[in-house]
């Protein structure tokens, strides 16, 4: 929400809603891909790995990695692409 607020304050409304849409869609898509892929976390597959906290979701693809990759690609396209966003 902080990213949305910054874009809404310092940029156009269209760019702010575009970035909000990108973040929302990648969050939903990441959860769906995790359900399809079913890759367990390392603590479930190996008794040698002891987790600090127990997470119930699957491990891959990483939510942080996919969100940051999509955010920075979208940010680059919004800021440096020549055509205006409509």
Tokens of 34: 């995790």
Pairwise CA distance, residues 7 & 70, whole Å: 16
Is residue 15 included in any domain, yes or no? yes
Q: Is residue 63 part of a domain?
A: yes
Asked if the structure places residue 45 within a domain, the reply is no
Q: Is residue 86 part of a domain?
A: no
Q: How many domains does the chain have?
A: 1
Whether residue 84 is predicted with pLDDT greater than 70 in this model: the reply is: no
Residues of the chain with pLDDT > 70, as a percent, come to 72
In a domain, 61, yes or no: yes
- Residue 44 included in any domain: no
More confidently predicted of 58 and 23: 23
19 class by beta-carbon count within 10 Å (0-12 exposed, 13-18 middle, 19+ buried):
buried
In a domain, 34, yes or no: yes
Segment 13-39 shows an average pLDDT of 85
Range of the domain at 11: 2-38+57-80
């Amino acid at each position: 929400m902080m990213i949305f607020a910054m874009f809404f304050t310092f940029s156009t409304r269209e760019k702010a809603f575009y970035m909000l849409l990108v973040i929302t869609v990648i969050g939903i898509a990441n959860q769906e891909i995790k359900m399809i892929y079913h890759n367990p976390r390392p603590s479930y597959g190996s008794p040698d790995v002891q987790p600090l906290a127990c997470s119930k979701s699957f491990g891959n693809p990483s939510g942080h990695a996919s969100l940051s990759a999509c955010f920075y690609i979208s940010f680059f396209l919004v800021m440096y692409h020549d055509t205006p966003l409509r």
